[in-house]
Amino acid sequence: MADLKNVFISHVHKDDGGLTKLKNLLASKGIAIRDSSIHTGKFNNATDEKYIKTGILAPAINWAGVFICYVSPQTKDSAWVNWEIEYAAKQGKRIIGVWEHGQKECELPSALSEYADAVVGWNGDAIIDAINGKDGWEKPDGGTCDTLRLKKHPC
């Protein structure tokens, strides 16, 4: 029986296909992901920003045990991704960045740089370790980053 994890995967909608790849990678390692994020298969037609944040995203993030940010070149420019990360940090969630499969490195969303517990490459074992509490910063290829960032705690 697979180990079941409740997660929220923050991403831009262009990367919806990557979520399936991420879930499949983890499933191949014995981890089943229940994802509360909003994606193509679970889209909504809400337009009011306050309602989207408080009525849709906040409850979904609150439900999750772990918060994952799917890091692609587009995530750094997403106000929604940064808001989701900041909200997760205020809730005391474990925050993990996972580099997009094949990503060569790009700028991280500013909130991820500030609040992440771990940022890992596209490696099932490394992702599972991060989900289970191992802190660390990796480059997309799994190599260690030159400098370790200090985690800042929200007030």
pLDDT tens track for 101-139: 988 888 999 999 999 999 999 999 999 999 999 998 998
Flag whether pLDDT at 43 surpasses 70.
no
**Mean per-residue pLDDT, 25-34:** 89
pLDDT in tens, 48-77: 889 889 988 999 999 999 999 999 999 999
pLDDT in tens, 70-108: 999 999 999 999 999 999 999 999 999 999 998 888 899
DSSP assignment of 37-95 equals S--GGG------HHHIIIIIIHHHHHH-SEEEEEE-TTGGG-HHHHHHHHHHHHTT-EE
Domain made up of 3-40+47-137: CATH architecture: 3-Layer(aba) Sandwich (3.40)
**Domain ranges for the chain:** 3-40+47-137
Residue whose tokens read 């500013």: 110
Q: How far apart are CA 155 and CA 33, in angstroms?
A: 30
Helix axes 16-27, 124-131, angle to 10 degrees: 90
- The band of 155, judged by pLDDT with boundaries at 50, 70 and 90, is very low
